[in-house]
């Protein structure tokens, strides 16, 4: 009679593999993941089937962690201008807690041969669009959610490529100042993006 898989062991192993991948990137071989999770490559294959299946699950679990860690940061807060909310979210997402995610998913985007998650670029865009549109809705300008997302993603790529945190922070603060300022003359724009009273 074959051994029965134990979901709690599989889950613990997967979490250890995610921790390793966030700290060191996705490895090309299973041995570093086996060492990090305290098991063998044979047991990794037993639990996950193939190397690519394990790597895909690592990415999915890391993505869930990222959304859980940072999703609430984008929610509007009563009495707080949404640009202040965005500023705090930027600091958290580009700070020590967020940098491992930026590194992991930035490298995934750059690898043209990466087939682990074929729809990743689309999902990585659309899963943040709704909370940003809702947040900008608190200013009466939900359509600016796409613009905010584009600026954030562009600055994430810049930050990952250059490591110039001070310059990226200044650029984001400049962008928030534009959102806070009047937008007269823009097609379909209201006089201000400040929250309506």
User: Per-residue pLDDT for 123 more than 90?
Assistant: no
Q: Is 0.85 topped by the overall pTM?
A: no
More confident residue, 148 or 181: 148
What number of helices (H) and strands (E) belong to the chain?
9, 0
Domain 7-180 grouped into CATH 1.10.357.10: yes
- Give 16-61 pLDDT, tens digit per residue: 999 999 999 888 889 999 999 999 999 999 999 999 899 989 999 9
Domain boundaries in the chain? 7-180
More confident of the two residues 43 and 110: 43
Among candidate residues 177, 183, 161, the one with its CA nearest the CA of residue 86: 177
What's the burial of 51, exposed, middle or buried (CB within 10 Å: 0-12/13-18/19+)? middle
């Amino acid at each position: 009679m074959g051994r029965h898989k134990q979901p709690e062991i599989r889950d613990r192993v997967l979490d250890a593999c995610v921790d390793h991948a966030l700290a060191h990137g996705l490895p090309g071989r299973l041995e570093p993941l086996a060492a990090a999770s305290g098991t063998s490559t044979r047991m990794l294959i037993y639990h996950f089937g193939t190397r690519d299946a394990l790597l895909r699950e690592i990415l999915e679990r890391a993505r869930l962690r990222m959304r859980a860690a940072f999703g609430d940061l984008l929610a509007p807060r009563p009495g707080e201008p949404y640009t202040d909310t965005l500023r705090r979210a930027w600091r958290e997402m580009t700070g020590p807690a967020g940098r491992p995610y930026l590194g992991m998913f930035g490298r995934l985007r750059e690898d043209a041969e990466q087939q682990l998650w074929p729809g990743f670029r689309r999902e990585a865009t659309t899963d943040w669009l709704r909370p940003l549109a809702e947040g900008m809705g608190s200013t009466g300008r939900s359509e600016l959610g796409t613009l905010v997302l584009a600026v954030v993603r562009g600055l994430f790529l810049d930050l990952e490529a250059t490591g110039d945190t001070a310059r990226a922070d200044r650029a984001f603060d400049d962008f928030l100042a534009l959102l806070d300022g009047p937008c007269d003359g823009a097609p379909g724009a209201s006089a201000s993006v400040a929250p309506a009273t």
